[in-house]
A and B are shown apart, each in its own frame.
Chain A
Amino acid sequence: MTATSDRDPQPWQDQLFDALKGAGIRQVGYVPDAGHSRLIARCKADPDIRDVVLTTEEEGIAMAAGAWLGGQRSALLMQSSGVGNCVNMLSLIRACRFPMLMLVTMRGEWEEFNPWQEPMGSIVDPVLKLCDTHVAKVETPDAVVPAVQNALQLAFGDDRAAAVLLSQKLIGRKVWVK
């Protein structure tokens, strides 16, 4: 299967939204990424979900902690390059055992065109693990919802950080020349 990022929304993208909605996610912080565009649009259209555009991904870590103190569940959406921006702020999650759900769209791997994406993209998995975050990588559409359900359970059941990496193979490569 060779998807491209500007094709019509895929069923897994709406299933992913349904999983978040079904788990009672009420705040969604994000730094935009093309791979998250469908999910962001669904969140913006839902009156029960507060969508918060961030200037940098670490803001979303702190916001998730605040949301939990206020009794709400949240999720943070970012591209792989944003993981590096979160490293120190993840101390807050670990020190206090806050639930923290991250959905990361990957760059710098499958059919990448931009070599500047590779340095961060290639270390997302070990960096997150060093930050005590559970990591699951998804490469096929049918694996998205189970991985997200598991991450939801780990985050909100086990009070910890959990990330789902949505691979470039799943999302499709960025179209550079239209």
Chain B
Amino acid sequence: MFERRAAMATLLAGRPNNLVLVPGLGSCTWDAFAAGDDDRNFYLWGAMGGAAMIGLGLALAKPEARVAVITGDGEMLMGMGSLATIGVQKPKNLAIVVFDNGLYGETGMQESHTSGGVDLLAVARGCGIERVVDVADEAGLKELAGLLATSDRSLFARVAITRDDPPRLLPEKDGVVIKDRVRRAVEKIS
């Protein structure tokens, strides 16, 4: 299992210029900001269940970009139907990565469905996402970082993380500012 901040830093080390990040609300947004503020980060402060679909719309609109949605198990569970939608579309420039600690971290560490036996990897496979990866070790995590930049198939990955709760680091909160900043950065990707 990985410490979440270290896992985020590994996934974003050597980030290519065309990689756009959609971190799910709560801890994943704090993790993304902790790894280094970036104009290509669409920080989410709400819209629970929507991260994967934001990623899909972006990936379809901008084939030159690589889109990584990195979100928590609770956020993914709320938008589980979007895995079916993505499985039908199969965008090769979209990766969905779930940081899975089996907990709703922002609300007091209550156990989520993945603690109760729900297998998001099986869901992703069943939905037809082409490459499904369970990241087990540091080498696997580095391999996933490479796949975010190069995968030629739709990708779903689960990264099991520890149940630590690092200090919150809060990025820009104004949605209009975040949106305009990301849109301008994405415009430059060619």
What residues of chain A have their CB less than 8 Å away from a CB belonging to chain B? Answer: 26-27, 50, 52-56, 58-72, 74, 88-89, 91-92, 95-98
Identify 29 residue pairs between A and B in the complex whose beta-carbon atoms are under 8 Å apart, listed by A's number. Answer: A52-B56, A52-B60, A55-B85, A56-B81, A58-B50, A59-B79, A59-B81, A60-B53, A62-B47, A62-B54, A62-B82, A63-B53, A64-B57, A65-B47, A65-B50, A65-B54, A66-B54, A67-B57, A67-B61, A69-B58, A70-B60, A71-B183, A71-B187, A72-B60, A72-B61, A89-B49, A92-B47, A97-B175, A97-B176
- CB pair B55–A66 under 8 Å, yes or no, is yes
B187 to A, closest residue via Cβ: A71
Q: Say which size band chain B's interface belongs to.
A: 35 or more
- B155-181: CB near A (< 8 Å → 1, else 0) gives 000000000000000000001101100
Q: Is the CB of B62 within 8 A of A70?
A: yes
B89: which A residues are within 8 A, CB to CB? Answer: 50, 52
Partner of B46, one of A60, A70, A92: A92
A71 touches B62 (CB 8 A): yes
Chain A residue with minimal CB distance to B55?
Answer: A66
Digitize B79-90: 1 where CB-to-A-CB distance is under 8 Å, 0 elsewhere: 101101100110
Is there contact, CB below 8 Å, between A55 and B84? yes
- Interface SS, B side: helix
B68 CB to closest chain A CB (Å) equals 13
Task: For residue B42, give the distance in angstroms from its CB to the closest CB of chain A.
Answer: 6
Q: A76: shortest Cβ distance to chain B, in Å?
A: 11
Closest-CB distance, A68 to chain B (whole angstroms): 7
Cross-interface CB contact of B85 among A54, A89, A95, A98, cutoff 8 Å: A54
Chain B contacts of A58 at CB under 8 A?
49-50
Q: 8 tightest CB-CB pairs across the interface, nearest first?
A: A66-B57, A70-B61, A55-B81, A62-B50, A96-B175, A62-B53, A95-B175, A70-B62
Say yes or no for B182: interface residue by CB 8 A criterion.
yes
* Closest chain B CB from A10 CB (angstroms): 29
User: What distance in Å separates the Cβ of B120 from its nearest Cβ neighbour in chain A?
Assistant: 16
Q: How far is the CA of A88 from the CA of B58 in the complex (A)?
A: 20
| In the assembled complex, B45 has its CB within 8 A of some CB on chain A | yes
Residue on A nearest B45 in the bound complex, by CB: A95
Measured CB to CB, the closest approach of chain A to B52, in angstroms, equals 8
